[in-house]
Amino acid sequence: MKTIVIASLSGGQGKTTTAFFLGKLLSQSAKVLFVDADPQSNLTFFLGHEVEANAPTLLELIKALVEPAEAVYSLSNPNQFLIPADDGLSNAQEYLASSGMGAVVLRTRLKKLAQYFDYCVVDSPPARTQISIATVGAADYLLIPAEASTKGVNSFIRTLELVQSLENLGAFTGSILGVVPFRDKWFGRSQSKDSASAIAAMKEVAPQLQIFPSILESERYKQALNQGMLLNELGYEELENPFKAVTKALEIKSLYVVEK
């Protein structure tokens, strides 16, 4: 199982959007485990799962109150599974902070599920918290969505700083897959100056990282999310290009590993 963590340390950067569409595309040919690691639980909602009272969630998994499989729920698609979140996930902060191994807790817990899934897609929370540290520590591949704006560039830089600090501690052992610009604004065939400037700044900050095709500013993404559908199912297949490019990159990485 390859764990792809979608992380960015500000709100509104496209993390849930990226996790949703990437996971759904991957599930067309592989078994995918979604992990909602954000107490706002937007990914859980968009995937159509309702957490029942006293049902195990990511909180119980992190605190080892249940066996990992008990926190996994099947979705309507036979290749899609979910470890959900609710607002109670915030209670994991103290546990992770006091455990002495918070950065590797999630990685350790997910290992018991590795044989059952091809990919694990994790939606990380939008701030530098113990939970976000634990998600980055669990990543084989880190994907950073960042709004094509000054705020997005700042979030991108802060995310890179977190990754570097965890790498220095040996808590992050994966690699950064790349960056997905979010809400890239175009007017016809002309890109806005703000978007172009922000994406250029991202390239300057980390020239070694791949910049994937942008998630354009479009209400179509929200429409598909609200209906729990892929964009191609609504007739907007071209808007899936960012997620198709990431899927392709993952396939290439997998081939490289096998050949090695």
Query: DSSP string spanning 58-98?
Result: HHHHHTTSS-GGGG-EE-SSTTEEEE---GGGGGHHHHHHH
What is the number of helices (H) and of strands (E) in the chain?
Answer: 10, 10
Model's pTM, two decimal places?
0.95
Question: What's the distance, CA 100 to chain centroid?
Answer: 25
| Fold held by 2-259 | Rossmann fold (3.40.50)
Q: Rounded to an integer, what is the distance from CA 172 to the centroid of its chain?
A: 16
Q: What is the pLDDT of residue 229?
A: 94
The DSSP code for 212 is P
Q: Is 141 in contact with 253 (CB distance < 8 Å)?
A: yes
Q: What is the pLDDT of residue 21?
A: 98
Query: Among candidates 151, 12, 11, 26, which has minimal Cα distance to 79?
Result: 26
Give the SS3 label for residue 129: coil
Q: How far apart are CA 138 and CA 124, in angstroms?
A: 11
Note the pLDDT of residue 176. 96
The pLDDT score that the predictor gives to residue 256 is 57
Q: Which helix (H) or strand (E) holds 191?
A: strand 190-191
Could you list the beta-strand ranges (E) of 7-158: 32-36, 73-74, 80-83, 119-123, 141-147
**Full pLDDT tens readout for the chain, 260 residues:** 999 999 999 899 999 999 999 999 999 999 999 999 999 999 999 999 999 989 999 999 999 999 999 999 999 999 999 999 998 999 999 999 888 778 899 999 999 999 999 999 999 999 899 999 999 999 999 999 999 999 999 999 999 999 999 999 999 999 999 999 999 999 988 999 999 999 999 999 999 999 999 999 999 999 999 999 999 999 999 999 999 999 999 988 776 544 43
